Amino acid sequence: MSLRSRLTAGLALAIAAATLAAPPASAAAPTAAAALLSDPVYDYSNAIREAVYIDTPLDNDGDGVLDKVVADIIRPREAAAAGIRIPVIMDASPYYQCCGRGNESEKKVYGTDGLVTKFPLYYDNYFVPRGYAFIAADLPGTSKSKGCEDVGGAEEVAGAKAVIDWLNGRATGRTAAGAVVTAGWSTGKVGMIGKSWDGTIANGVAATGVDGLATIVPISAISSWYDYNRANGLVNPKVSSVPSLHSLVNSRPSGTCTSVANALSSGADATTGNYNSFWAARNFVTNASRVRASVFVVHGQNDLNVQGVHFGQWWSALAANNVPRKIWLSQEGHVDPFDSRRSVWVDTLHRWFDYWLLGIDNGIMSEPQADVERAADVWQTSAQWPPAGTSTVNYVLQGTANPATLATGTGSGSLSLTDSASLTEANAVSSPTTARTGRKVFQTAVLASDLRISGTPTITLRVKSSKATTTLSARLVDYGTATRVNYRSSGEGISTLTTQTCWGSSSSTDDACYKDTAKTVASASYQVLARGWMDGAHRDSLTSPTNMSTSTYYTITWKLRPLDQVIPAGHRLGLVLTLSDAEFVSSHSTGATVTVDQTACVLQLPIAPVGALTGFSASTPATVYAPESYPAAGTRFQ
């Protein structure tokens, strides 16, 4: 009999033992225990469903009563009857009523008794039968919760944290009728998961160091709200502003949250790109030293909504504090791995939660730390990320031809770049041999072997501006025809099919079946790999901008978005410089002409060993669309 079969046969005893055991301090080399998984031994259709109203420590709606968040809970009835304590998987979200969750935008559905009869997503269907409770918590000011949503602020984080405190006996919870209720059925161990705003909350709660939070799985999540709404002193027009996000999810009666909404508008300081105390309070990276939970980071390298800066700086801060961690980087945009690598994702997530919440030593922490998608459904693993052997290589700018040269060695020449406010990204990077106003292209020679860039590139330019400030924009480009995941299609790299598959158990009101997806690919002659921007007046400080003297050269350094991409042999790596970029940062065209001293410019790239690729057959074929099919700007943050 296999270990998996013995777990099923030993129902209560095996799950009880796994539940009460602490996660191993470190995992040994994979053994037969790697086959051990929690099995679906509990009856989902008969599970306990309840709602608990939990006191938060704040009263930001000013009604004189502590704000309450609603935790809708589903847990196995048999475990409760046997006195078996179980861990919790929680998705705290502002979207459960306004917008829905997942690729199919599922919302909570309530019965006549006020309890949830259908939970969004598959977490309840899959994990409750395996000995977990699932909690879908409404953030303050959303759905049935009180208080006012403050978009990444103290109220939002404290609201989600209060659920963990209640599970560990540190906060008061009540039924809808007002009776005090405790969570004696819980081990106190919690794993938070969620995509986008939901994953952002997981980051924020982990940064408080709350006891009981064992692991988080932030998917396409923000690590600093400034870096979601701003970029080095510039405003990002592609995303919803903090006040508009508050308005989108707010479910309180008219006028209840006016003062909070006003404070969000004034604090965000929308007229400037400055960093201030408002943004500092919403920067989770600075509190990475408090994180006590393990972290499984998942992000699309081509996410133009929650851009790569969020996983890059969060990952670096976690690494600096020795936080146990794992990372997946895909080629899609703002896409959940359930919709891009479904079967592998569910299996990996299952083992991750089993390890950190049930204490099952299944070997997952001895597996490669990183999974990186190279092309549609072709993945590469690394024992660590960035990979061992990664080193910084300096590239310089040489000459004035079209294109000019990007190479190692010594920079030479100078150029004059005049702002072209109407220049689109497509025109900025395409046809590199053509001279175009407002852009300059630099290219390497044709690559003799594959080149892997893994980490965060940095660019330094020595410039003189004819205006007191100007936007400086840089893009890394892979020049060479290839079939790539089309992250700029309407599905951000996936298309939704009519067929469906099921992941977990179902009830008469809540099925576990979801539409299948396929990768959307396109053949194109180039791909933008990374972008980065800097406002010249913010060159030395994000809090106190200073004008540029028109007679002075300034050495200005900024980071591009992190990446892990391979430029194949036969292609060229390109650097494209422009000034304003109306598509990605707010119109900040000053009409400047900038002189660039190429002898003092450098592009620093983290170059990694190429390594081996591993592929697997997709369950459905990729869908081919025309390249550069751009979705509208201002995509809603979900």
Task: Write out pLDDT tens, residues 153-191.
Answer: 999 999 999 999 999 999 999 999 999 999 999 999 999
576 vs 430: CA distance, rounded Å: 10
Upstream peptide bond of 24 is cis (omega within 30 degrees of 0)? no
pLDDT of residue 34: 41
pLDDT of residue 637: 42
Domains of the chain with CATH codes: 3-367 (3.40.50.1820), 391-624 (2.60.120.260)
Catalytic residue among 246, 299, 310, 334: 334
Catalytic residue among 61, 67, 227, 303: 303
Which phi and psi angles does 431 have, rounded to 5°? 45, 65
622 vs 355: CA distance, rounded Å: 33
pLDDT of residue 28: 30
> Is 196 assigned a catalytic role?
yes
Give, rounded to a whole angstrom, the gap between the first and last alpha carbons of the chain.
Answer: 45
Give me the residue label for tokens 């709200």: 225
> Is 303 assigned a catalytic role?
yes
Task: Indicate whether 565 pLDDT > 80.
Answer: yes
CA atoms within 13 A on the CB side of 189: 23
Q: What confidence tier does 267 reach under pLDDT thresholds 50, 70, 90?
A: very high
pLDDT of residue 238: 86
pLDDT of residue 611: 80
Q: Is the dihedral of CA 257, 260, 265, 266 positive or negative?
A: positive
pLDDT, tens digit (0-9, with 9 covering 90-100), for 84-138:
999 999 999 999 999 999 999 999 999 999 999 999 999 999 999 999 999 999 9
pLDDT of residue 590: 87
Residues 38 and 131: beta-carbon distance below 8 Å: yes
Task: Indicate whether 562 pLDDT > 90.
Answer: yes
pLDDT of residue 30: 31
Which whole number is the average pLDDT over 481-487? 97
Catalytic residue among 196, 340, 454, 489: 196
Interacting residues of 506 by C-beta distance below 8 A, sequence separation 6+: 44, 45, 125, 512, 513
From the number of C-beta atoms within 10 Å of its C-beta (0-12, 13-18, 19+), residue 254 rates as exposed
Residues 503 and 125: beta-carbon distance below 8 Å: yes
For residue 300, give both structure tokens: 């699309």
Q: What confidence tier does 612 reach under pLDDT thresholds 50, 70, 90?
A: low
What H or E segment, with its residue span, contains residue 326? strand 325-330
pLDDT, tens digit (0-9, with 9 covering 90-100), for 211-229:
999 999 999 999 999 999 9
